[in-house]
Amino acid sequence: MTASKSSRARNARAQRAQRAQVNATGNGGASAGRADQTGTAVKASPTVKASPTVKASPTVKASPTVKAGSQSRAVAARGGAPDRRGSRGPALALESAEEPDRRGLVPLWMQFLTFGLALAGLGVSIYLTVAHFTESALAGCSENGAVNCTKVTTSPQSYVFGIPVAVLGLAFFVAAVALMSPWAWQSARREIHLIRLASLVVGIGFVLYLVYAELFIIGAICLYCTSVHVITFLLFGLTVFAAAAWGLPERQRG
């Protein structure tokens, strides 16, 4: 009986020693595991230490889409509309810069109409000048009553500063033919268009004086002179209308 108690005591001590050894081994492994886990977490994670994506993202740093959106919102805030030309913007700007200036370019019908009227006035002026120097009667013109071409062409008012009015009219229409030609109308020189306007202002002033002289001083009308006056009025009106409707060419910069 004594031997059995001694055997049981030894077995109990052996079991306690085994359990203590097992517990010590388990606690040491857990402690080592915690140390490894803590060391790994605290030491330095390469991903956390320097992440290229977090450090500087090119997309976030400078996005053309974001910039374009900001510009659109800025234009909308100013009350305008955003530029929708896209990649064709520079091309459209280049095309508009290369487009020729259309100011001062009147239609062809206006060019030929004024040129024809100037030629008609030149023809009548040539005939009146020839009749003045040859002292011949004007064909188809009455010499009695209110219509009396001879009375008008031989009156003192048929001279201005000693120069026959017929010669002045001839010089005016020679210049008018050149200024009313299609080549002059299509010229890009602003001076030509200004000279045309100025010459017609002078011409219409002279015509008003001659009409006044016929009606209130001479008391007779010359049909040929009246036709010249009408042509001058038409040229003046058409030229002023062309300048108002289509403008004048821009002044050329040196």
Higher pLDDT, 64 or 218: 218
Q: Which of 17-26, 178-187, 221-230 has the lowest mean pLDDT?
A: 17-26
Q: Which of 50-59, 152-161, 198-207 has the lowest mean pLDDT?
A: 50-59
Q: Does residue 119 contact residue 228 with C-beta atoms inside 8 Å? A: no
Three-class SS of 124-189? HHHHHHHHHHHCCCCCCCCEECCEEHHHHHCCHHHEECCEEHHHHHHHHHHHHHHHCCHHHHCCCC
- Please compute the mean of the pLDDT values over residues 144-149 and round it to a whole number: 87
Is residue 242 pLDDT above 70, yes or no? Answer: yes
Cα 16 to Cα 3, 8, 26, 31, 206, distances in angstroms: 20, 12, 15, 22, 144
Q: Does residue 125 contact residue 172 with C-beta atoms inside 8 Å? A: yes
Percent of the chain at pLDDT > 70 equals 63
* Residue 86 per-residue DSSP state: G
- Please compute the mean of the pLDDT values over residues 62-79 and round it to a whole number: 47
The predicted pLDDT at position 94 comes to 46
Domain limits, the chain: 108-246
Is residue 64 pLDDT above 50, yes or no? Answer: no
The HSE-up count of residue 180 (CA atoms within 13 Å, CB side) is 29
Distance CA 172, CA 235 (A): 12
Higher pLDDT, 157 or 26: 157
- Please compute the mean of the pLDDT values over residues 209-235 and round it to a whole number: 96
Is residue 10 pLDDT above 70, yes or no? Answer: yes
pLDDT tens, 162-177?
999 999 999 999 999 9
Was domain 108-246 assigned CATH 1.20.1440.130? yes
Q: Is the pTM of this model over 0.85?
A: no
Is residue 6 pLDDT above 80, yes or no? Answer: no
Name residue, tokens 């050149």.
Answer: 178
- Please compute the mean of the pLDDT values over residues 225-246 and round it to a whole number: 96
190-212 and 165-179 helices cross at what angle (nearest 10)? 150
Is residue 62 pLDDT above 50, yes or no? Answer: no
Is residue 220 pLDDT above 50, yes or no? Answer: yes
The predicted pLDDT at position 159 comes to 94
pLDDT tens, 191-207?
999 999 999 999 999 99
Cα 76 to Cα 65, 69, 82, distances in angstroms: 16, 10, 7
The predicted pLDDT at position 228 comes to 97
pLDDT tens, 117-130?
999 999 999 999 99
